[in-house]
Structure 1
Amino acid sequence: MQVIINVIEAIYGFLWNDFIVLPLPSGGTLGLPLLAILLLPTGLYFTIRSRFLPIRLFPQMVRVTLERRGRKGSGALSGLQSLIVSTATRVGMGNLVGVVAAISAGGAGAVFWMWITALMGSATAFVEGTLAQIHKEKDPLYGGYRGGPAYYIHNFMAKRRGGDTKRRSLLAIGFAISGLICWCGISQVIGNSVSDAFENAFHIPPLYTTIVLVAISAVIVLRKNATVKVLDILVPVMAGCYLIFTLFIMIKNIGQMPAVFSRIFSEAFGLRQVAAGGFGAVLMNGVKRGLFSNEAGSGSAPCAAAAAETDHPVKVGLMQAFGVFIDTIVICSCTAMIMLLAPENVTEGLVGMDLLQAAMQYHSGSFGVVFIAATLWLFSFSTFIGILFYARSNVSYLFGDKWLPQTAYKVLALIMLFIGGLAAYTFVWDLGDVGIGLMTLFNLAVIFPLSKQALDSLHDYEEKYLGRRKKEK
């Protein structure tokens, strides 16, 4: 066991610790983890190649998201449903605790770099989502479609081998295994975060909270197609309530808003931090939060994107790009505003959920503490349901079209959820981070050479739909 833990920690350090450390003129340093070195240029590359799609086609993102497609009884998801599933996993505890950590370490300026990173990540999410649609296949177990990186990696490697699609790709197998490892690790983290939040807010023993959480989760995930139905209701409600509550706080403190935005922009470029050598912390904490909250490049969301039924692959790609906007520009910004609108003396010396709960108590009294605990529960619960939807296609790729492996993985995830609710095991948390890091490496190795398919599809979409719309006008 100690050897396994040492291996996990070594891989974690390789992926997540500073890979390159650059000196800054101010005397500080800028640490760049390997994943940031890979994901940032990827986002910039796809943003340029797509001719700044996140900005140029933003109205199209909204328009296609509001379309409802998918034949009744086909088992396939509509594009909007696939967006809801991917949003369920993107919008998680990272939108709460992660943003708190970024601002605590990097100051208000980290929010600006979080926004910039999200804009670039939107282009990566578009490419992933479009490729997932192009390479999807029928799902004989659940109905509808399935796919994701394991499938487009498989097809890419098969083509390189001369068209041998029967032989499985080691790269695709590596992605599928990494995903299953990641989602088991996340299950443990979810259980621990929810039980801690309820113990702090309501003084409920972790055992009771965990039993209820696991029981409700089991009723949903062990049924054939209950996942999407639950998320269809849960995700819009939880995200909408959080947004409305934040807007209420912003309106209540409208006089402070100009100062908050001024602080974000001034600290973003280190006007205060450069003198203290802290610009690296500002930049990288915002970048990390943006990269790892919206999951663009990791290959998670394409597992949901592939399940959608649509008349053009690009429509799903645009929805996935819009999902990054929802996660980072909207939800993460809500958390940032709640924090930045609270006086510094209220949150001084606090970290994590304690800091956020203190800010909420300042804004709304005891109701704010209850609200944030309930919000964390909903965000975390929806993430758990969503990642088990992702797992479907990866389990099928590894073990074929059989119910036993599907059920076995769900039971394993429920066990990890239960264990996490009772105690925190650091190496399991690291295991989740190692999983998503390896997923990202496997995914990025293929989406660059495959990106031409997504960009050609974008060109076709613009000619067929936007060109026709222009003629009609």
Structure 2
Amino acid sequence: MAFLTAFFGAIDNLTWGWALIPILVVFGVFLTIMSGFVQFVFFRRMFRVLGRGANNADPNAISAREALLVSVGGRVGGGNIAGVAVAITLGGPGAVFWMWAIALCGMATSLIECTLAQLYKTRDGEGGFRGGPAYYIRRGLGGRYNWLAIVYGICLMASFGFGFNAFQGNTMAGALHDSFGIDRLWSGIVIVAVTALVIFGGIKRIARAADVVVPVMALGYIAVAILVIGLNIADVPDMLVRIVRSAFGFDQAVAGGMGAAIAQGLRRGLFSNEAGLGSAPNVAATALVRHPVSQGITQSLSVFIDTMLICTCTALIILLGDVYVPGAQGIDGVALTQQSLASHLGDAARYLLTLAILLFAFSSIIYNYYLGENGLAVMTRSKPAVLALRLAILAMVFLGAAAPQATSVFFFSDPMMGLLALVNLIAIIMLFPVAMRVIDDYRTQLKAGVARPVLDPARFPDLDIDRKAWDPTVWK
């Protein structure tokens, strides 16, 4: 056990410890510049997907909107409440500014990786699609890199499917115990039962569940933040000045000043929005869309919602309250957010936050399950294997909920996520020219007056695209 702990600890140090965060930052800036600032050019188009009007030729397929909500449900988790509070405690108000900055760059990264996921998606034999980094590694880079796709699949299944789901189960059970005194054992049973109802329906039921849960949790949390802003509207200008001054070291809120603000803001932003980590593309590939870039644009909006809206809501609740004291230690994480919200709206607001945590964690569980299933699909799609995976993930959720100390067993989760992120970044770098060809095709059609561009595989005869997944006649 000591050997495994040391081994995964070394991987963690080699990825998250010093290499991966700077790489993700530089990579996001590089993609933003080289793509011609696509996240800003297409910003207005992102919001078209929020309309109820379904543009699918097949009403039974996963729509772009449903894929968006599943990915938002996965990106938005307990970290948006606890993680932002920790970032502010350790990095001061300036961490919020750098969180915003990395999100704007991450929108370009997400657009590129999700465009590639859509381009190289395949029919799954059940009327739907599968895709993601493992698929654009195999089809985009060729058979010699199949081993890299398998490494990615194993890391995806281990980190998201098992490790992170145990933590989410722990988060939900802990919130119910702390707020309502419900025993963790009973919480675990209920959480597993509800999760099973969703995941045994496959991606279509997951999408339908996200279509209900995610809007409620996101809009509800934003509404609470707007109420807090309204109650403290006179303090908002000063708060924004504090954020900017702290971000550039003019207001030494914590030890480390500007360096601490940058480090904590970038780290929180990257962990929250997952841009470049290769997780969201697995969900992005499930949607039936006219052109790969359209889903890339949609998933870019997912990053915006996660960080620029949800994380910012948490930051405003904390910074507009009187609980947070710059430089002071002691209260952080969920407790800081909880006490700050109570200072604005009274003690009853703690129950609102508990509900938010429950919804955030549950949406992450069903998202993480699908990532685990997609990781397994890289190696096998046999029904017994899928059933075994579902039962194993439910067991992990129950273990995390009923035995909180057991989550320490999943020390491998972060190192595995670091590895899959590195694999994904290598693949994106190698396939970036292909992504730009597809983006240029989309732009060319827009300039020609095509309101909603359609991908024609015939224009890309050299690419190993699944022609069955891209039939342009479907949209005529």
Q: Mark yes or no: TM-score above 0.5.
A: yes
Matches within 5 A, 1:351-430: 351-399=332-380, 401-421=381-401, 422-425=403-406, 427-430=408-411
Residue 69 in 1 paired to residue 61 in 2? no
The alpha-carbon deviation at position 274 of structure 1 amounts to 9.2
Residue 155 in 1 paired to residue 139 in 2? yes
The alpha-carbon deviation at position 368 of structure 1 amounts to 0.9
Contact 1:189–1:424 (8 Å) recurs in 2: no
Residue 121 in 1 paired to residue 106 in 2? yes
Inter-CA distance 272–71: structure 2 relative to 1 (3 Å threshold): same
Residue 341 in 1 paired to residue 327 in 2? no
Q: Which range moved further: 267-276 or 459-468?
A: 267-276
User: RMSD value over aligned CA atoms?
Assistant: 1.9
Residue 254 in 1 paired to residue 254 in 2? no
The alpha-carbon deviation at position 111 of structure 1 amounts to 0.3
Inter-CA distance 393–275: structure 2 relative to 1 (3 Å threshold): closer
Q: Which range moved further: 355-364 or 6-15?
A: 6-15
The alpha-carbon deviation at position 240 of structure 1 amounts to 0.7
SS at match of 1:169: helix
1:316 counterpart residue number: 295
Gap regions ≥5 residues in structure 1 = 18-32, 162-167
SS at match of 1:468: coil
Matches within 5 A, 1:93-172: 93-140=78-125, 142-158=126-142, 161=144, 169-172=146-149
Alpha-carbon distance in 1 for matches of 2:134, 2:106: 20
1:204 is matched by which residue type in structure 2? I
1:20 counterpart residue number: none
Q: For 1:326, which of 296, 301, 305 is the aligned residue?
A: 305
Contact 1:8–1:427 (8 Å) recurs in 2: no
How many percent of aligned residue pairs carry the same amino acid? 37
Residue 182 in 1 paired to residue 159 in 2? yes
Contact 2:323–2:343 (8 Å) recurs in 1: no
Contact 2:94–2:258 (8 Å) recurs in 1: no
Q: Which range moved further: 57-66 or 451-460?
A: 57-66
Alpha-carbon distance in 1 for matches of 2:66, 2:104: 23
TM score, norm. by length of structure 2: 0.89
2:471 counterpart residue number: none
Residue 44 in 1 paired to residue 22 in 2? no
1:199 is matched by which residue type in structure 2? H
What is the total number of aligned residue pairs between the two structures?
Answer: 445
SS at match of 2:379: helix
1:226 counterpart residue number: 205
Contact 1:64–1:315 (8 Å) recurs in 2: no
Q: For 1:197, which of 166, 169, 175 is the aligned residue?
A: 175
The alpha-carbon deviation at position 76 of structure 1 amounts to 2.6
Contact 2:66–2:208 (8 Å) recurs in 1: no
The alpha-carbon deviation at position 4 of structure 1 amounts to 2.0
Alpha-carbon distance in 2 for matches of 1:144, 1:410: 19
Gap regions ≥5 residues in structure 2 = 452-476
Contact 1:182–1:432 (8 Å) recurs in 2: yes
The alpha-carbon deviation at position 384 of structure 1 amounts to 0.4
Inter-CA distance 158–277: structure 2 relative to 1 (3 Å threshold): closer
Contact 1:346–1:358 (8 Å) recurs in 2: no
2:387 is matched by which residue type in structure 1? T
Alpha-carbon distance in 2 for matches of 1:276, 1:431: 31
Alpha-carbon distance in 1 for matches of 2:254, 2:115: 44
2:250 counterpart residue number: 271
List per-residue Cα deviations over 1:409-460 (Å, max 9, x = no partner).
1111111111111223464443221121111011011101201122111111
Inter-CA distance 276–72: structure 2 relative to 1 (3 Å threshold): closer
1:82 counterpart residue number: 67
Alpha-carbon distance in 1 for matches of 2:23, 2:50: 29
The alpha-carbon deviation at position 469 of structure 1 amounts to 6.2
Contact 1:5–1:427 (8 Å) recurs in 2: no
